[in-house]
Structure 1
Amino acid sequence: MHNSVRWTTEEQNSLLYTMRGPWNWEAVNEMLIIGDELMGSVDHPVDVILDIHDVGNMLGPGFLVHSRRIFTSVRPNCSGRLVLMQPDSMLRSVHTLLDRAFSTIFSQIYVQYAETLDHALLLLDMAGDGHISVS
């Protein structure tokens, strides 16, 4: 499995979380620690892009418990804008499940979908400029 967390721009306005291959919660937690440290190093709002192509089944044991913990322990400077990258419909199904299970939390998160990193950055740019976009 290849995982990474990095800034997408020199301005450090968005973090890209990339996961490839089969995953486990230990790997996810390691990525979250790195992302938390990066986000904590700046004082401005930070957007999140999650690229999870080819990760396999996302609904493993403890999925809802871990998801709730992740989405309720974000840094104060997390913008609440999240772009999800995955070419198939599985991610939309997972998002729908989380949205229904944790409607209070997800009502504060603006989720969009993108096919590429360039598309994700464009969506975030448009949202930052106050434009409403359809993804």
Structure 2
Amino acid sequence: MPVSVDWANPEKTIVMQRIDGQWSMAEFYDVVQKSAQLLATVDHPVDIIVDLSTTNFVPQGVISGANKTESTVPPNQRLVIFVGAKMMHKLLLSLGKRLAPRAATHQHFVETMEEANGLIEHFRAEQA
């Protein structure tokens, strides 16, 4: 399966989305919906890590998907951290930031999972 989503920790403060190989917009929408469902089960802020490190693919229609993504952003979504995004992903996600500002307000790019977790820890420390 090229996509998956689940809690990354027992505290339910981080959701891990993995996107691998070739994937479709339908699969991406499933990830967005499942993430929203997970976030709806808690009342505290949740950060999302999107692991793109094992895909070079971008499906057709990804830009038009920004509106659908924007309409499903839960109020407790906080950081969205993309791990291993290629330049093509970064360009499209930056454009998506204009089309779906709520979905990408706190969008960040890092190269490793360690950097993603460090960014979350740093952000939480600043918020405390």
Q: Verify same fold: TM over 0.5.
A: yes
Assess if the C-alpha contact under 8 Å between 2:52 and 2:83 holds in 1: yes
Residue number in structure 2 paired with 1:83: 81
Residues 69-93 of structure 1 show CA distances to partners (whole Å, capped at 9, x for unaligned) of 10232111112x1111125322221
1:98 alignment partner, SS class: helix
Measured in 1, the distance between the counterparts of 2:89 and 2:73 equals 20
Measured in 2, the distance between the counterparts of 1:109 and 1:87 equals 17
Displacement of 1:43 in angstroms is 0.9
Measured in 2, the distance between the counterparts of 1:8 and 1:107 equals 20
Number of residue pairs the alignment of both structures matches: 127
Residues 54-73 of structure 1 show CA distances to partners (whole Å, capped at 9, x for unaligned) of 33332x33222212210232
User: RMSD of the TM alignment (CA)?
Assistant: 2.2
Residue number in structure 1 paired with 2:110: 114
Measured in 1, the distance between the counterparts of 2:57 and 2:114 equals 26
Unaligned runs of 5+ in 1: none
Unaligned runs of 5+ in 2: none
Measured in 1, the distance between the counterparts of 2:103 and 2:73 equals 15
Residue number in structure 1 paired with 2:13: 13
Displacement of 1:20 in angstroms is 0.5
2:86 alignment partner, SS class: coil
Instruction: Note the 1:1-135 alignment, pairs <5 A.
Output: 1-58=1-58, 60-79=59-78, 81-86=79-84, 88-99=86-97, 101-102=98-99, 105=101, 109-130=105-126
Assess if the C-alpha contact under 8 Å between 1:72 and 1:105 holds in 2: no
How much identity, in percent, do the aligned residues show? 20
Measured in 1, the distance between the counterparts of 2:104 and 2:87 equals 23
TM-score in terms of structure 1 length: 0.80
1:73 alignment partner, SS class: coil
Provide closer, same or farther for how the CA distance between residues 64 and 87 of structure 1 changes in structure 2, counting only shifts above 3 A.
closer
Provide closer, same or farther for how the CA distance between residues 117 and 107 of structure 1 changes in structure 2, counting only shifts above 3 A.
closer
1:92 alignment partner, SS class: helix
Assess if the C-alpha contact under 8 Å between 1:82 and 1:112 holds in 2: yes
Assess if the C-alpha contact under 8 Å between 1:21 and 1:56 holds in 2: yes
